[in-house]
Amino acid sequence: MNTTVVAQLQRQFQDYIVSLYQQGFLDNQFSELRKLQDEGTPDFVSEVVSLFFDDCSKLIDTMSRSLERPDNVDFKQVDSGVHQLKGSSSSVGARRVKNVCISFKECCHVQNREGCLRCLQQVDYEYKMLKTKLQDLFNLEQQILQAGGTIPQVDIN
Amino acid sequence: MNSSGGSCSSLMDVVTYDPHHHGHDEELHVLAVDDNLIDRKLVERLLKISSCKVTTAENAIRALEYLGLGDQNQHIDALTCNVMKVNLIITDYCMPGMTGFELLKKVKESSNLKGVPVVIMSSENIPTRINKCLASGAQMFMQKPLKLADVEKLKCHLMNCRS
């Protein structure tokens, strides 16, 4: 094992994950998720976030269809979708996605279709952005493991 | 039941009867009810880490069926109750169809199950909702998203209740 390479990769990982928290992509709940992963379940976090992103995609599709026709919007449907999304994003620590959902919910309550469409677009952007960032993070993890190192525990607080 | 791969599909987990673990006192068997797949995955993992045996259900109706309170004939109900003893039910409040609160009431109304502690989870911190649940016999109310520390607290609390 090349200890210099491992140390470099670990440093890269540490810096990257800290930046994700600092830029508000992730919140403390993501570190809680990481605590649940161990040698026996090394893919727990990536599995859960993968499910989350699939969920985002499906819900966004459904909500998009509900919002399609200006004269016939099922705001209850949309609200139900946002509720799901808000819950999941909160549970995985996807902070920006969750925050858009809060605004999104407001737009549903006042039946503001334009507002909903804007939020929908934003939530789509945010989840895709987070997906890319986390993919990069997981790739770094893999590189560390392949180089024979261990993934650092990063304390955000 | 240790493998979690594929167990969180849209179907409820099926528990096989293991005579060696029937009445196994140390391990808590928890029924976790939540319509959100990610939350089900999370609560399942949290409980397994805390050495609980976990069965998940995606809605209250399925949960009731599992508990033997569904629309089935009495014979099946009795069999279900004996084989898959549940020590704790943890349920989300907001679910389509039957809510967690309604599930709580059904459990507390049942002569077989009213002794089973029911914990309600919710992402919303609404005092009237919390009080309503506690007043109807909920053991505890837990704020989502759940963390490891929450489940550890819960387990301690329950183990003390049992002894």
DSSP state of B129: H
Measure CB to CB from residue A55 to each of B37, B49, B146 and give the nearest one: B37
Dump pLDDT digits (tens) for A30-62: 999 999 999 899 999 999 999 999 999 999 999
**What SS3 class is residue B14?**
coil
Q: Do B147 and A29 touch (CB under 8 A)?
A: yes
Chain A residues within 8 A of B94 when measuring between CB atoms: 83
Q: In chain B, which residue's Cα lies nearest the Cα of A80?
A: B96
Q: Does any CB of chain A come closer than 8 Å to the CB of residue B136?
A: no
Q: How many residues does chain B have?
A: 163
Q: Does any CB of chain B come closer than 8 Å to the CB of residue A102?
A: no
pLDDT at B26: 66
Distance of alpha carbon A85 from alpha carbon B110, whole angstroms: 34
pLDDT at B153: 85
Tens digit of pLDDT per residue, chain A (157 long)? 788 999 999 999 999 999 999 999 999 999 999 999 998 999 999 999 999 999 999 999 999 999 999 999 999 999 999 999 999 999 999 999 999 999 999 999 999 999 999 999 999 999 999 999 999 999 999 999 999 999 998 877 6
Chain A residues within 8 A of B150 when measuring between CB atoms: none
Q: Where are the beta strands (DSSP E) in chain B?
A: 29-33, 53-57, 88-92, 118-122, 140-143
pLDDT at B14: 39
Distance of alpha carbon B101 from alpha carbon B104, whole angstroms: 5
Q: Does any CB of chain A come closer than 8 Å to the CB of residue B15?
A: no
Chain A residues within 8 A of B144 when measuring between CB atoms: 87, 90-91
**CB of B144 within 8 A of CB of B39?**
yes
Chain B residues within 8 A of A87 when measuring between CB atoms: 36, 38-39, 123, 144
DSSP state of A147: T
Count chain A–chain B contacts defined by CB atoms under 8 A.
50
pLDDT at B79: 52
**CB of B74 within 8 A of CB of B68?**
no
Q: Does any CB of chain A come closer than 8 Å to the CB of residue B49?
A: yes
Alpha helices, DSSP H, located in chain A: 3-22, 28-35, 44-67, 75-92, 95-109, 113-146
Q: What tokens appear for B61 in the block?
A: 């109706």
pLDDT at A22: 96
Q: What tokens appear for B107 in the block?
A: 């459990």
Tell me which amino acid residue B2 is. Answer: N
Short-list A110, A137, A88, A37, CA closest to B48? A37
Tens digit of pLDDT per residue, chain B (163 long)? 333 444 333 333 334 344 444 444 568 899 999 999 999 999 999 999 988 999 999 999 999 999 988 765 444 555 555 446 899 999 999 999 999 999 999 999 999 899 999 999 999 999 999 999 999 999 999 999 999 999 888 888 777 655 4
Question: Can the peptide bond before residue B19 be classed as cis, meaning omega within 30 degrees of 0?
Answer: no
Chain A residues within 8 A of B123 when measuring between CB atoms: 86-87, 90
Q: Do A91 and B39 touch (CB under 8 A)?
A: yes
Measure CB to CB from residue B148 to each of A36, A52, A93 and give the nearest one: A36
DSSP state of A94: B
